[in-house]
Structure 1
């Protein structure tokens, strides 16, 4: 079996969740790597949309931000941000939103605003950007994050983007009709919300990962599905394409 890192396993597993006919709103960082890996392998016709208004983007290197010129240069077209949000996002034309965050709770609510007290925070984070709208307007949401006690918390310091709220039918009670977070892909496992409680539940462990590792890296009592599988290891082609993408990105950003 080819050697791979936990980050590579997370990115490959996230890429596999995407389909060829998806229209995907892409976040910067891990979501961008996963979406472009999908585009370069099994989903060549996927439509990638970034918050800056670039439609049908096909970057050769991963963008540093939504304002990276690589996005506009490789897009089919670029529209204004108001058009992006009002017509495309709020118009229900985007099937999947890919998000990450600084903090996540068991119901898929995300914090990208502050760590600590809002008025006197320990850390001031980048903020919501378009994530709150993405979280409620896309057909469904995939979340990618590395597991840690700092990131996977019992209670968020601030709710930036709505997941399943307090669980159960709380999301719908707020008048939100989209599905919300349907997958959580981490460096250790695949999680899906319980059909009734909406609490994220481990459905698949990545190769070599134990249940104790899961328990030690989340701030709540982790739950496991009745039948927990093993995530298929990355294939050689997936790793080759992903590593080439990261190598091109590193060279471009270092000016080589």
Structure 2
């Protein structure tokens, strides 16, 4: 996660969404099976396949394993059947969740409206449960994925999203920190990384509280702290990520020429 400038465009040459996709793709490893949602998670997974992880397997909640995604025709949902064409395998939703429960999925990849210091995600509602200010899509398979696989979350870094305590835990992170996740009966999985437009965040091995692992070029420790709704440790020697390369950006723009997800 050190700074490199070779073949790296200026920050003005790429969007925040492209930055999220590139940084997320770099976290995926060859040979992994990743549960990817639409948008940035799918773009990141395909980018990883085409650059550093050709043996990565992409899995959709709708039952598609190894989807074939034609450039310019990104699916609008994980149940989009156009991805079944030329896919490696098509199974039922139940079979997909059984793969997850049996430990065949390495990484879950999603976003959320809120996240707290222990990585708990909220995609259900904002405000009071009885009279919410905003209703959100809900869990889908998010709770299953977060309960059983290592998680990568990609989202914009804003104080209203990074809160001390989420309004509702849709998908569990490390609950109250420490051993609370394991104590609650969730020994597997857990939050691995949070990728934002400001940096890459991880979780302390003991407290399970969020901490900064790297900042993106031009982002200061003061900026990322100011945009977080809870105390966020930033090491004095925090590294700086390598900016997106022209090659990485070219792949993303080929996949999403209309900039539906990367604007």
With normalisation by structure 2, the TM-score equals 0.90
Tell me the distance in 2 between the aligned counterparts of 1:113 and 1:91: 27
Deviates more, 1:73-82 or 1:167-176: 73-82
Tell me the distance in 1 between the aligned counterparts of 2:74 and 2:163: 29
Q: Which has the higher contact order (CA 8 A, sep 6+)?
A: 2
Q: Any residues of structure 2 matched to 1:61-72 within 5 Å, and which?
A: 61-72=73-84
Tell me the distance in 1 between the aligned counterparts of 2:80 and 2:258: 15
Q: 1:208 is matched with which residue: 218, 239, 245?
A: 218
With normalisation by structure 1, the TM-score equals 0.92
Tell me the distance in 1 between the aligned counterparts of 2:258 and 2:15: 19
Tell me the distance in 2 between the aligned counterparts of 1:70 and 1:14: 25
Contact 2:143 2:171 in 1 (8 A): yes
Q: 1:219-241: CA deviations, max 9, x gaps? A: 11221135310001111100111
Tell me the distance in 2 between the aligned counterparts of 1:170 and 1:180: 11
SS at the partner of 1:242?
helix
Match of 1:101 in 2: 112
Structure 1 consecutive aligned stretches of length 4 or more whose deviation exceeds 3 Å = none
Deviates more, 1:19-28 or 1:4-13: 4-13
Shift of 1:25: 0.5
Q: Which runs of 5+ in 2 are unaligned?
A: 1-7
SS at the partner of 1:38?
helix
Contact 2:36 2:42 in 1 (8 A): yes
- For the aligned residue pairs, the C-alpha RMSD in angstroms reads 1.4
Q: Tell me, yes or no, if structure 1 residue 181 matches structure 2 residue 181.
A: no
Match of 2:201 in 1: 191
Shift of 1:249: 7.0
Match of 1:49 in 2: 59
Tell me the distance in 1 between the aligned counterparts of 2:119 and 2:85: 34
Change (3 A) 1:226 1:130: same
Q: Tell me, yes or no, if structure 1 residue 225 matches structure 2 residue 235.
A: yes
Match of 2:163 in 1: 153
Q: Any residues of structure 2 matched to 1:94-173 within 5 Å, and which?
A: 94-138=105-149, 140-173=150-183
Tell me the distance in 1 between the aligned counterparts of 2:235 and 2:180: 22
Change (3 A) 1:210 1:74: farther
SS at the partner of 2:192?
strand
Change (3 A) 1:194 1:246: same
Deviates more, 1:224-233 or 1:1-10: 1-10
Contact 1:10 1:188 in 2 (8 A): no
Q: 1:84 is matched with which residue: 78, 93, 96?
A: 96
Tell me the distance in 1 between the aligned counterparts of 2:74 and 2:207: 36
SS at the partner of 2:159?
coil
Aligned length: 248
Contact 2:153 2:195 in 1 (8 A): yes
